[in-house]
Amino acid sequence: MKKNSLRAFTLVEFIIVVALLMLLAIITLSALNPGLLTERARDTQRKKDLGRIRVAFEEYFNDKGCFPTQATIDALECSKNGFQPWLPIWPCDPNGQKYYVYTGSGTCPTSYRILTNLKNKQDKQIPSGWYSQNIGFKFGDGSLTINEVNYGVSSLNTSWTLETVPDHCYTSFTGCYTSPGVGMCNALASGVNMQNSYVNPDCLPECFVSCCNSGRICVSL
């Protein structure tokens, strides 16, 4: 009995010591790098905000049969109540800028993508291999790179990680592109290879896609 009591007491002491050491480590980390903890807290807020917007969009769809138009989203202001009753206050990034929110084209969008940039590049919710992609990859409205966004949510019928080009390029990303005329970048036919498909200066730069940059061989998906 006496030996068992001593062992139990020793185990309790050990647990207390470990807990104290962990607490000291956290305090030391906070003292040495308070900015790191601040940024991680902001990343947590970013994820919560995107989740709240997603829920609001789904409720909006249940009521309207569409997602909000891009014009509606673009008109919203930070910390204002322009999206009631689905979202009492429109959230913005902790840095004061608006989140990247894109809905489908037309008066009755059927999809949406909401993106942000987490400061902790090691966050487990950043897609695996994100920073090993080509820097030329385009996201959101076709202007955002891997260094500008690394986390997002979307409607079930699309993915925020899909590469895209601006609407005025008249196509969605399905492969690589040729340049038949000013402002028109068309997808290659299935199975077609093409090298230097963007040597034609008539094709707008924002219509380029990463797999065709630098004269590499492009293969349609």
pLDDT digits (tens, 9 = 90+) for 38-89: 888 999 999 999 999 999 999 999 999 999 999 999 999 998 988 999 999 9
Distance, in Å, from the CA atom of 66 to the CA atom of 61, rounded to the nearest integer, reads 5
Give yes or no for a contact between 160 and 124, defined as CB atoms under 8 angstroms apart: no
Kindly report the pTM of this predicted structure: 0.69
Predicted local confidence at residue 46, as pLDDT: 97
Predicted local confidence at residue 214, as pLDDT: 45
Domain with CATH 3.30.700 in the chain: 43-154
Q: Which long-range contacts (CB under 8 A, 24 or more apart) does 99-103 make?
A: 99/46, 99/49, 99/50, 99/53, 100/140, 100/141, 100/144, 100/149, 100/152, 101/53, 101/73, 102/70, 102/73, 102/140, 102/141, 103/67, 103/68, 103/69, 103/70, 103/73
Q: Are strands 112-116 and 193-194 parallel, antiparallel or unpaired?
A: unpaired
Fold of 43-154: Glycoprotein, Type 4 Pilin (3.30.700)
pLDDT band of residue 110 (cuts 50, 70, 90) is very high
Distance, in Å, from the CA atom of 40 to the CA atom of 47, rounded to the nearest integer, reads 11
